[in-house]
Amino acid sequence: MTMSLAHPSTFDDGADKARSSASAAGRIGPNAAIQLLRALPLAVDPETVRRIVVTAGVEDWAAQAPADMVDERPVAALHRATRSILEPQSALAILAEAGSRTGDYIVANRIPVWARAILKVLPAALSSRALARAITAHAWTFVGSGRFVCKPGKDPTFEIWSNPLCAGETSAAPMCVWHAAVFERLYQALVSPRAKAVETHCSARGDACCRFAVSGIRR
């Protein structure tokens, strides 16, 4: 789906039904898997990649990547296997790379050229709010069965409650670098190259939700 700068309420009934259906079924956009499957071979050997996809139960994706919205559970399993099999820093770096690649894909393929142009010339504060609205309108493509909350402003924050990509996991530190990298790449490409996105709270750490703070929004 192409991202729009319109307010979510202006979307047609078909989009509303698609969002409701995806959320209810626990489905997520394929790039959460595709870009990770592309990043892994660039950083680890083929046998390790094979071990990760076998552990996650997604061997078929190694041969044929998914093209449509997919069940969030095997995607979560792929992220989990990456974190459990690789050294922590390597896993985080690869997941962050996959998130950045996802952000690049969205910018190139899901945001109209005219919208990109407008975002880049508006004052950073206005671009930030417009992008936050677009992200919120399409959150159903990356939160699955979770719930998304956006708090726009000078330094916007995004929250994912019951984040399916870290469900059932425990960590001493925030671990959802894939989402953080997606947000960061979108803001760097469309609002300010200085933008940074950091996960400040994580449900895997015992926090109520996964919260991502965006800062450095200036030109």
Count of domains observed in the chain: 1
User: What pLDDT sits at residue 22?
Assistant: 54
User: What pLDDT sits at residue 218?
Assistant: 80
Query: Domain with 100 in it: what CATH number?
Result: 3.90.1520.10
Please give the Cα distance from 165 to 118 (Å, whole number).
Answer: 32
Per-residue tokens: 45: 């050997």
Tokens 């979108």 belong to residue: 186
Give the containing element (helix H, strand E) for 80. Answer: helix 72-85
Tokens 């919205």 belong to residue: 69
Residue 2 lies in a domain: no
Alpha helices in 44-123 (DSSP H): 46-56, 59-63, 72-85, 88-109, 113-121
User: What pLDDT sits at residue 13?
Assistant: 33
User: What pLDDT sits at residue 219?
Assistant: 67
Residue 20 lies in a domain: yes
The model's pTM is 0.89
State the residue range of the domain holding 13. 9-215
Amino acid at 137: A
pLDDT at residue 212 is higher than 90 = yes
Please give the Cα distance from 127 to 140 (Å, whole number).
Answer: 21
User: What pLDDT sits at residue 19?
Assistant: 56
Residue 125 lies in a domain: yes
Q: Label residue 7 by pLDDT band (50, 70, 90).
A: very low
pLDDT at residue 131 is higher than 60 = yes
Tens of pLDDT along 75-96? 999 999 999 999 999 999 999 9
Residue 1 lies in a domain: no
Tens of pLDDT along 16-47? 444 555 555 699 999 999 999 999 999 999 99
User: What pLDDT sits at residue 12?
Assistant: 30
